[in-house]
Structure 1
Amino acid sequence: MSASKRKNLNKMEVDQKDDDSSSSDENEDGIHPDAYTGNEEVQIDFEGRTPVDPDTQGISQLLQRLFLRAHINCNQMADLIIAQNHVGSVICQVDDDELESETDDNMVEEGTVFGITSVLNLSAKKDQPSVSQLRTYLLDRAKSHASETALEQLSYLLDNEEQPHLGFLINERFINIPAQICVPLFENLKMEIDHAKTKKMKFNFGTLLLLVKFFRKEAKKGQPAEDIYTNAEDELLSERAKFSFEWSVASECDSGMSGDWLEGDAVMTPYRKLLALDAKQFPQLIKDIQSYINNE
């Protein structure tokens, strides 16, 4: 696949922010306090394309929002994602004012990375520093927060080399980009994985791990707690997981913030949840996500 290969995405609507809003108004997940209000919408064209070297910093920043203060080398992980130039996509804004040659692989625009969808092989790449750090991070969190059964299952997936490989599914994007965009990105990823397997490349996964972000609106005045997922599709995926476990990351947020923020008078606490998904079910999950986000 050409390094500049574009993958068509539909025109998306995103919430428009005030031009004078500063980064200090956002939390560690890049969520602006107005993220859940009815702000004015603006039409923006996005494209999915293969990650290239100029995307390293943008991908790394998205990974840092996911992992927060975890000891994981996000720059090195971004390099691994880019090195898989046959698998994965970044979301970029289409610039109609500039023409890009479709025949010159070196003519790739450098701009903001709005999202990354890819997969890393945690089995084949376990000796890579960032992958080794990720494996340790997940196992440590499981020891502290998972049930005994979930810990045993995760340990088995990480340690048993005779089973199909373990993949780490990455599905990160800016908060205001709607869930509809994930469907063509996942469909592209599935096709790229299938193509890689025909070439005997190491993308034959048995299980896909996905780390998702959500906020918990704490129970108050007789109202039950409510979980609000940063990516809407993650709620469905959480329901379909073979096993999962979660933990609060309030203490890992920037020192300038408590890790909690308010929606009205309700406290919103940031969490992470690890999902284990059956890789064979990935095609069906994509169809289910399409129906879910279309309220079908």
Structure 2
Amino acid sequence: MTDTLFPSPSPGSASNGRGDDWRIDRDRARAGGASAIAADALEIVDETASTNTDLMARMKALPRERAAFGVHAVRAAYRQTAGRGRQGRSWQTKPGHALTFSLACVLPRPLAGLAGLSLATGVAVVDALARLAPGEAARFALKWPNDVLLDGRKLAGILIETAWSTANASAVVIGVGINVRRDEALEAELEAASSPLPAQARATPPAALSQALPDANLTDTLAVVVKALTEMIERFGPQGFAAFVDRWNAYHAFANREVVLIDKGEELARGIATGVDGSGQLLLLSDTGMQAIATGDVSLRLAGDTP
């Protein structure tokens, strides 16, 4: 599929910084924080299959021994025909309602040193959204391993993919999807689809940033999140997730509450979620003692939300 690149809106066009502007104003995004990356590194396309797939192909083509550390590209799309999240789930949205983008970077860490990167990304996203809506900061939280919540409902998802890794570096693509404006028709469709399912198989219902920030728009959201992610990458490179573990635990939605881990619809483990350790593993206190659960294809639910 051929991508259509959108130029920056001209003065006097519909992109004037108001909350009803659904397109991304490149100049305003850069002024608002996306200037942390090179001007030509910010790409905004009308439609593509998947921004993660696009950037994965690009990063795989890099000469590994000469690849520069840091951010290489940020690619946002108004519509992704094959957007996806964890466990192969599709990401559904209408243009202008959600911010969907990917960030490609090279970190000075081998593959084993990337543990906790998705959790650090979650911290960066919550930090950014709290800057946008400081009076509502307490409403944002993190659900292990990589969901961002607003009032207990899913606001954003994160997908990390590794293009390649050497003994000294790794090329990574970080995909982020944030519901910026409510899509009540889609919410009703998702609710109807999930209602026949058993409780443990249902996805967390969605939330939108506009519920905390009425004039939320894609431009300002992209600006602050890209800035926060750039800062996170600069810190994660030398320090790893250990630099973010305290912040993650402070944002932990289910801290010291009983939770259930679900694997393919079946209960895998149950206990008190006490937090995460320095590698991003969930610390679960059960009758058999403390367990460290590595991230994987499991879902986390409050015990009261399952039979």
* TM-score where L is the length of structure 2: 0.29
* TM-score where L is the length of structure 1: 0.29
Structure having the larger proportion of residues in strand: 2
